[in-house]
Structure 1
Amino acid sequence: MERRLAAILIADFVGSTAFLQADEEGALVRISSVLGIARECIERAGGRVFDTAGDSVLAEFRSPVSALRAAIETRARLGGGGEHTAEDMRFGLHVADVVADGDDLKGEGVNVAARLQATADPGAIDVSETLFTHVVKVSSCKFETLEPRHLKGIAEPVRVYRVSQSADRHVYQIAPTRDEPAVALRPNSVAVLPFRVTTGADEDRAFLADGLTDDLIHELSLIRPLFVSSRTASHAVDTNDPTAVGQRLGVRYVLSGTIRKLGDRVRLSIELSGTRNGELIWSERIQRPFNELLDAMEEIAARVAATVSGRIDHAEIGAARQKRPENMSAYEFYLRGLEEHRLSGIYNSHARQAIGWFRKAQEADPGFARPLAMEVCA
């Protein structure tokens, strides 16, 4: 038997016993239809159904984000009108090290997902804290924090989060009865995928990667000839394959990269790829002192603009530049504040921490305007 880390989704048809007692044949047809929709959504998100139990499906995913996407799409399609409703199913999601026995998965991780599903309300998508920590920074969903739940057969109580139904159509724009149409590739278009943090950095620099990604998206969006995919759309993509990103977002180019900060120096590895055939257009490694980081970002924006639009419009890029902070510590404090601000819809403590970082940025550089604006937002 093999062990592996997996995201587990278990979805169950609600009230099957009562339906079967009232109209057995009609209930079986309806259950089969609902489970068929769930299976389609699971397979579309890259999952594998490893077991069925009459009125439920058990699925495995390599990505927690993909598992969450499958659950949301299933619920949205059921609630999109017709004979089904969003309350026809309930979902439990968990990430765990599981035992693979042939095509089947076993272990406590599967049991946790099953218990979460069994104790969820109709139409609810309940996820464990373990899965929540994997998806919270890369998903645009809103989560409701529930009381720790004592699950049958599980020794310790499990912290549970519930996915808001506002994500079903607003975030993912899911059509209830048809597949997503193919998106035409827009001219002069680019998507900036979230920067990754390399191993071996002196500390967790996720806030720096997120902040630089957002700044680069903003810089490029101010250059008029370019169409730049939004941050929400870029973060919702669960693949780094340029061709798949292009089909999903309708862009001709994809910019991706990694960042590593060691002491007072920053190393960036940047790649620009075409989405028609996934070809690498150019790649570059940039190593600079941290206080020259914004110069590097402007160089990247200029080179992307030159490639995507076929020319560099220096006037446009010059007009797009924002006032730089005189103190790069202020910029780092600002990025830390942005990271906390994105989590402020989950806990109020994140909003308080964000305000604290924005105020530190203002103290470090009173002429840097963005922290003041973000303090108002926070």
Structure 2
Amino acid sequence: MTETRKLVAILAADVVGYSRLTSVDEDRTLARLRALRSDLIDPTITVHMGRVIKRTGDGALVEFRSVVDAVRCATEVQNAMVERNAGLPPDRRIEFRIGIHLGDVVEESDGDLMGEGVNIAARLEGVAQPGAICLSEDAYRQVKSRLDLKINDLGEVRLKNIIEPMRVYSLHVGIPADVKPASVPQATVAEAPAPGLALPDRPSIAVLPFQNMSDDPSQEHLADGVVEDILTALARLRWLFVIARNSSFTYKGRSVDVKQVGRELGVRYVLEGSVRRSGNRVRITGQLIDSATGTHLWADRFDGAIEDIFDLQDQVTSRVLGAIAPKLQQAEIERAAHKPPQNLDAWESFIRGLHLFSQHSDASTRKAIDMLDHAIELDPDYARAHGLRAVCLAWRVFQGWENRDTAFAAATDSVHRAFASDSDEPWAFIAQAFVSLGKRDDQAAVAALTEAVNASPNFAFAHALLGAVHAFGGRPAQAIECIERGARLSPRDIFAEEYQLFYSFAHFQAGRYAEAAAAAERAIQLRPEHPALYIMAASSYGQAGEIGKSKDMLVQLSNLVPTISAAAIAETFPYTRQDDRDRLVAGLRAGGLAG
């Protein structure tokens, strides 16, 4: 067996508490890990030119051509895991430890890597805190001038089975280096940037020209066409400030610093990418960057045949939009969360209210209404705030937390105020649909959500909610189609548990009780304080004859809504057809719900 020596960046990662997670629920843990690999870890490794050397049940060893690529890959994965673990109890979170080292390794003929360089990376991973990244001094030297993240110098650390102690640095993902820590060398502190344009009062983005990575200069039109499509789609998001093509394309053909672009154009986010053609195949990559910190928020790649280039462009546009819209909202939510309420402007108050509404609990939705009232106080004509306030009020009726007549009247008033400022406000249409559902007016609910989709074709939640309305009206096939469209537009939406609930509505209406219960259970894992999830799970289990599981769900439902009764659910649940409501209540009574 021949071998070759080379200098490479090695990344070692594993899952914190893997044995404990699998002992509690092995099937669910393994399923989550498989999903993480397929839609997060492997695509991110590929974008940053990594090569997986080997996998274990709970970890991986990855080779990169540079430490910069390895650190960027690691920070993107760790940032994504913070988002995915949000709302989960600590004992169900999947967290990674990561170690990165630049060292000499031996590559064997089968591609495997061996040697002290590999061992050091593995030992660095072992001393990392959950969610953190540990760098050796050799790795740290390669990236220290390019990082804008908080670094802790851990000093000399003795690593297991490594003879000499090593200096180790711990990288804290998601914490900007606003203040120089005492233990960080001077070189890691960036100089104060030159002043630039003021940021707009809403999220702002520039899409830079995608780089043509092909040898053929004629492929420039392909790269430009992809950017044109993305810009057109982003411009339809009215809450987003998008820099015009004529400005962003002044950077074409130039090597630019994303932070400088952000200052010069006055934007918080920058989308960049590349297009590479090889034979009849095309690969398009994209990455979203916070221009203030340099943090990568998202990255992905898209492959297709050149003869299907227009279909590929449409696919890229749809997936880029579906991925970065929720990323932008989440980044804005996290930014607003660090400011005291009295310092929030109208947009920040709205975005915090949106986040609170997405938690779907009694307390969070009350706070959401308070936050939206604050936004309206700052800007009385803020249509989105009026619309979302109406949605919150109407939604709470269906959970049993508001008086039906009073809340629907207040929601209707907010809808009118929203339309007075913007006749095409999608959240106001959604609120209209909720009020119509409360009256079991199927046609009006469909019409309102159709208006929402027409006003904002890329609004994933509106598409999915239209699916829920079709389920309530007895059209499960149309329901599934609309929900899937929403899920494709926004695969990691902040309303992800709602999509699962909508699937449950559709499966239940079609008599597929096992599928309905499974979808409700998936939603419960994401938002355990949402009452409707337990209603669907309990009734589905009751209809399927799994009475013990139905009873368990009803216990948790009663904890959330102590006054809940079968009669109240029969009165408020929005299934239009009497037969569907009767089956829903029968399933609940099978589990023992009184009233």
Larger radius of gyration: 2
User: Which structure's residues are more often helix, by fraction?
Assistant: 2
User: Which structure's residues are more often strand, by fraction?
Assistant: 1
TM-score tier (shorter)? 0.3 to 0.5
The structure with higher relative contact order (CA 8 Å, sep 6+) is 1
Structure 2 length normalisation: TM-score? 0.31
